[in-house]
Amino acid sequence: MKTGQFILTLFASLITMSNAIAGGFSIQSQDLADGHFNDAQVSGSFGCHGGNISPAISWSGEPAGTQSFLVTMYDRDAPTGSGFWHWVVANLPASVHTLAPGAGTDASKLPEGAMAVRNDTGKTGYLGPCPAEGESHRYVITVAALRVPNLPVDNTATPAVVGFVAHYQELAKAAMTVQYAR
């Protein structure tokens, strides 16, 4: 690809992306209204003593052409060199705009067609926050609007593979950052 074509393609992509963002795609959570997790959502392992119940989240304003959603929760401050994926739900139908509290830990609360994918512990479902004593971490909860009804992955895929595949089908993203400290 010639440099001029590349610049035009990049510019067109940026315009499309800014229009999707400007279109009002957003994520909300009554459970996380103050920007922090409460004890119900905190992990019950790794030295934490929370309820490990995924928060309720909702989203709206997705762009036209959305055929499904992907929900993820990522700890950008985990001391792994690559962060830590706490929650991945793929193939949420385009008609769905909410996840109930506990949908990440009780698959029966997921909408029909949705698929819980394993987190970075290798277990399927939600793992609440639990940073080391004395640390505060930022957790990014993202909803991606996708142009396909289903991603070609199964629930044994790693979060990185799901993210890689979803990246090429993404129309827009809405994200919120939530903190937790111990």
Q: Where are the domains of the chain?
A: 26-181
pLDDT at 23: 60
Of 107 and 166, the one with more pLDDT: 166
- What single letter denotes the amino acid at residue 27? I
Q: Is the pLDDT of residue 158 over 50?
A: yes
Which pLDDT band, with edges at 50, 70 and 90, does 5 fall under? very low
Pick the CATH number of 26-181 from 3.90.280.10, 1.10.510.10, 3.40.50.2000, 3.20.20.70: 3.90.280.10
Q: CA distances (Å), 86 to each of 8, 119, 146, in order?
A: 37, 5, 21
Q: Which of 5-9, 75-79, 121-125 has the lowest mean pLDDT?
A: 5-9
Which pLDDT band, with edges at 50, 70 and 90, does 6 fall under? very low
Q: What is the pLDDT of residues 29-75, one digit of tens each?
A: 999 978 899 999 999 988 899 999 999 999 999 999 999 999 999 99
pTM, rounded to two decimals:
0.85
Q: What is the pLDDT of residues 79-110, one digit of tens each?
A: 998 999 999 999 999 999 999 999 999 989 99
Q: Is the pLDDT of residue 128 over 90?
A: yes
Q: What is the pLDDT of residues 15-34, one digit of tens each?
A: 333 333 436 999 999 999 78
